[in-house]
Each structure stands twice: as C-alpha cells, then as structure tokens.
Amino acid sequence: MRAFVSLLAAICAVTILAMTRVLPAHAQDIKTTFMVYCARCHGEGGQGDGTDGASLAVKPRDFSNCALMSKIPDATIINAIKNGGASVGVSKDMPAWGEGLNDQQIHDLATYVRSFCKK
C-alpha cells in the first residue's frame, strides 16, 4: 500500500512538472495564453462569462458583441491589456499585463479578442 501511495505521489509530481513547463512561459499559442490568463474572467468564448468575472462589480464585456466591440479602437484594446482597465477608463478589475507579457503577445491577444466577433 505504501509503495502504491508513493508511486501515485511520484506520478502526480511528474504530471505537475510537465504541466508547469508547458504553461505560461512557453505558451506560444495565443489561444492558450488567453485560456490561461484571461478566460477566468472573460470566458472561453470571450462572452464575459468566466467564473471569476461573475463576482466583479463591473462584468467583463462580451467580446462577441460586434456592435459594441466595433466602437472600441485597437489602441484602446491594446492599452487596456498592457496597462490595465483604469488606463482606458474601464474597470480597474481588469489587470495590467505589460509586466508579464511582451508587446507581441499583447498585440496577438488584441487580435484574438477581436476574433470573438464573427460577422
């Protein structure tokens, strides 16, 4: 039984190591980046229905709402991601990502945010 438990522990440890290695630092795929950093508030489909978003005073907006999103310039989207919600006059609950993500990733995320609006 003990051997079984330590085997199980070893398997868990290896799995966790493998997972942390493929997550943030090497998340080449921008969809993965969105799922890791953004989906918890903005929702996997960008509809503002992430589990952490539900408890916020200002709900993350629906990125799939084309009418609404078309009113927001690219520069605002990029700024919001880089410098946080307060920098563009939306909720301060939107964190700033400029420290953790580089400009290319932020640019790619902005494009990904746009992709939720399907016309």
Q: Which of 31, 91, 96, 98: binder of ligand HEC (CB under 6 A)? A: 91
Q: What share of the chain is helix, strand, coil (3-state, %, to 5)?
A: 60, 0, 40
Nearer to ligand HEC among residue 66 and residue 72 (C-beta): 72
Inter-residue contact 63 to 42 (CB < 8 Å): yes
What are the DSSP calls for 47-72, one per residue?
Answer: SS--TTGGGSSSPPP-TT-HHHHTTS
Residue 84 binds to ligand HEC (criterion: CB under 6 A): no
**CA atoms of 101 and 104, how far apart (whole Å):** 8
Residue 82 binds to ligand HEC (criterion: CB under 6 A): no
Residue 46 binds to ligand HEC (criterion: CB under 6 A): no
Inter-residue contact 64 to 46 (CB < 8 Å): yes
Of 6-14, 16-24, 72-80, the window that binds ligand HEC (rule: CB under 6 A) is 72-80
Residues forming the site for ligand HEC (CB under 6 A): 37-38, 40-42, 52-53, 56, 58, 60-61, 72, 76-77, 80-81, 85, 88, 90-91, 93-95, 97, 109, 113
